[in-house]
Amino acid sequence: MNAPHEGTAALPADTPASAPFLGGGPGARALADRLGLLAEAGRLDNIADLLSLASDLVDLLDQSMVEKLALLSEQATSAAWIAANTLRDAHARTLREERPPSLTGLIGLLRDEDTRRGMAVALRALQTLGRQMKAQRQDYADAS
């Protein structure tokens, strides 16, 4: 029953049991040896966990999730593009000036409607940041 079939040679005693399944060649033996080492070290469990995670991600990524991620990506790209263009424009304008603006020149910029609008955005962003920091400070105080 366990005798080799006709036309096949018996495998050496040190050949892993999985080698016949893999074809029995030297590459199959090397693969079986490596898989054996991974199994002994518990690494195959990590690979199985990684495959399970990938499977879960595939299950989670339904059409609405993909659309939400696409919108988020588009918004982040847009914000980065606007910020980069704004800084590039401000940098170019500043480089064109012969001398840095004086203090009264800076105050004079406040007469410009676009400057005031930009300052309002910056101040509101700082206000929101401060509000979030206040909430975090309260969370840290509650945790202590």
Average pLDDT score over residue span 9-32: 62
Q: For the beta carbon of residue 61, count every other beta carbon within 10 angstroms.
A: 11
Report the distance separating Cα 124 and Cα 118, nearest Å.
Answer: 10
Q: What would the pLDDT profile of 71-92 be if each residue is shown by its tens digit?
A: 999 999 999 999 999 999 999 9
Does pLDDT of 52 surpass 90? yes
Average pLDDT score over residue span 90-101: 90
Angle, helices 26-41/43-60, rounded to nearest 10 degrees:
90
Report the distance separating Cα 69 and Cα 64, nearest Å.
Answer: 9
pTM above 0.75, yes or no: no
Query: Where residue 138 falls among pLDDT bands split at 50, 70, 90?
Result: confident
In this predicted structure, what is the pLDDT of residue 37? 87
Report the distance separating Cα 32 and Cα 44, nearest Å.
Answer: 13
Q: Where are the domains of the chain?
A: 19-59, 101-144
Query: Where residue 122 falls among pLDDT bands split at 50, 70, 90?
Result: very high
Average pLDDT score over residue span 1-11: 44
Q: What would the pLDDT profile of 24-37 be if each residue is shown by its tens digit?
A: 677 888 888 888 88
In this predicted structure, what is the pLDDT of residue 26? 79
Query: Where residue 7 falls among pLDDT bands split at 50, 70, 90?
Result: very low
